[in-house]
Structure 1
């Protein structure tokens, strides 16, 4: 088996080496155990089949699928849980969510990832340090709860970015705010893309937990579902706030454009008759008055100035500016 495929193995309650990490590739396949795989490699399906021959090919295909959406499926005594979590990997975008796939038959738990999932790493470290072994229910619920808990900080950071943008736009929207708005709206839309099906999946898992996982874990899933609902409501509020900011920005920029066009219109109206006069006196035909008069230029200039002043006064009294 590839060392890269099997990331961790933890014996569960009633296992031969309960509470401690199992050696990769060792142990009785009938013992309760949690195996966590990286299925990004080309031999991932074969590695999963070798380590867990009790899983049928359809479940292995689901665990190793390239693209997934959150869902929960029940197959008699087997369960397939596919979750999406915020990407906490360094130098990667949080909204580029990672997928965690979980299969269980009530005794064995097989989980798979294509990119690192901090929820699985966190739970594995916790179980390794624990004095008492965990059950398969604790693993499934722990992974689900960890994924939802890890959403709190990135969403809080996103809301803070929206708050900062609102404060910047109080003094007036600027063209560069369009880029920030578009980026934030893109992040919110990407997160909401998986949050709705994730909430539905966790809700179904919560309903199944009453008979499958027991009251203790049902209560944990209920609380996690409530937290996820609150996160989704925050994203809905963020989407509405960004939409309002977008409309405000368009209004502000439109007002600036209208004021500029208004000013240009007034200037054009004032200089329109002046342009007519200068064009008229600039034609090269005989009979132009004042051609031989030395003060004619100053008379025309003064007349143009008077006309401009009269038009400006007229527009002023008419309330144009």
Structure 2
């Protein structure tokens, strides 16, 4: 599906492919691209065959490539599902020239509609600032959508840490690994994307005006913040795992300690019962039974007092 925003006589016209051949700056958005649609656009705008092929395979990494007459940019982002670890990857491809911008994607992200509305309501975005500014707005919306995901991640990780120190459970360890895999996924995407935006924020990139590089520098700062949050999250996840293992080890030590104390208490009793339970007629006297009961009661009490004195209890 093709949607076109065309700047003509100071106003924005919206429509489909019928606007492609009309003169003026334009933003062409292609959702759910097909080989036929991309072939028509490649013929009309001189898109390079390798770049067009990349748009039909959603397994690219963030990158910036220069072709004759246009730049090819790949940017990615995520949206979350009901669970913070349920991430949906959004891969967006852009062809940038002086008078047109082609955006290609299979899924819309939340900030896309706001960018489209801003372009339609404010013709200056195309008239005065150019197609590279539209690229900036799309990149900024894609990057800013990652902050709520990491905020939700931080809140869940804090709750998980509290739960671990209150009562460690096996399901918490499984959740820690899920959160760790989520961070690895975010890092794998945002790390190369930071390099791409860094290139866009430098002077001398074709079709990126100097005034727009300042805006891309702001996007780069956002990516640096995200990257720092991911690194901090990795450290906290590691601490949470260490805390879980420590709590489990402490719990195991407490159980072993209690079992050892019970065994120690019953050890002298077993000796006494075994010794005085022998069939000796000479010992079958009232004194014998008195001594036996004194030892049965005295030994455990003495051991308990000794344990408390040694601070084992």
If the length of structure 1 is used for normalisation, what is the TM-score? Answer: 0.81
Q: Is the 8 A contact 1:84 1:198 kept in 2?
A: yes
Tell me how far 1:138 sits from its aligned partner: 1.8
Map of 2:214 onto structure 1: 219
Structure 1's 25 and 120: CA in aligned 2 closer, same or farther, altered over 3 A?
Answer: farther
Bigger mean CA offset, 64-73 vs 181-190? 181-190
Partner of 2:36: 46
1:31: Cα distance to partner? 5.3
Distance 1:91 1:111, change over 3 A: farther
Q: Cα deviation per residue 1:105-137 (whole Å; 9 max; x = unaligned)?
A: 333322111222234332222212224461221
**Counterpart residue number, 2:96:** 104
Question: Structure 1 50/306 Cα, relative in aligned 2: closer, same or farther at 3 Å?
Answer: same
Deviations 1:150-178 (A, max 9, x none): 22222223223333344555x63522543
- Maintained 8 Å contact 1:88/1:118: no
1:145 pairs with one of 125, 140, 143? 140
TM-fit CA distance, 1:81: 0.7
Give the superposition deviation at 1:314.
Answer: 3.5
Pairing partner for 2:166 from 143, 167, 172: 172
Q: Distance in 2 between matches of 1:91 and 1:184?
A: 11
Q: Does 1:188 align with 2:180?
A: no
Deviation at 1:225, TM superposition (A): 0.5
Whether 1:59 and 2:54 are equivalent positions in the alignment is: no
Aligned 8 A contact 1:148 1:228 in 2: yes
Which residue, 115, 131, 136 being the options, matches 1:136? Answer: 131
Query: What's the Cα RMSD here?
Result: 3.2
Q: CA deviation at 1:197?
A: 1.0
Counterparts of 1:230 and 1:76, CA distance in 2: 34
Could you tell me which residue of structure 2 aligns to residue 242 of structure 1? 237
Conserved 8 A contact 1:39-1:45: no
Picking from 5, 22, 38, the partner of 1:10 is 5
CA distance in 1, matches of 2:84, 2:295: 70
Q: Return the alpha-carbon distance in structure 2 between the equivalents of residues 266 and 120 of structure 1.
A: 66
Note if contact 1:172-1:252 (Cα within 8 Å) is conserved in structure 2.
no
Deviates more, 1:102-111 or 1:310-319: 310-319
Deviation at 1:221, TM superposition (A): 0.3
How far the C-alpha of 1:51 sits from its partner, in A, is 3.8
The corresponding residue for 1:33 is 26
Aligned counterparts of 2:167 and 2:85: Cα–Cα separation in 1: 27
| Equivalent position of 2:226 in the other structure | 231
Match of 2:280 in 1: 289
Alignment match, 1:160? 155
Q: Flag structure 2 segments of 5+ consecutive residues without an equivalent.
A: none
Over 3 Å counting, the alpha-carbon distance change for 1:93 and 1:50 in structure 2 is farther
| Compared CA separation, residues 302 and 89, structure 1 to 2 (3 A) | closer
| 8 Å CA contact 2:72, 2:96 repeated in 1 | yes
Alpha-carbon separation, structure 2, partners of 1:288 and 1:239: 69
**Match among 250, 254, 259 for residue 259 of structure 1:** 254
**Size of the alignment, in residue pairs?**
306
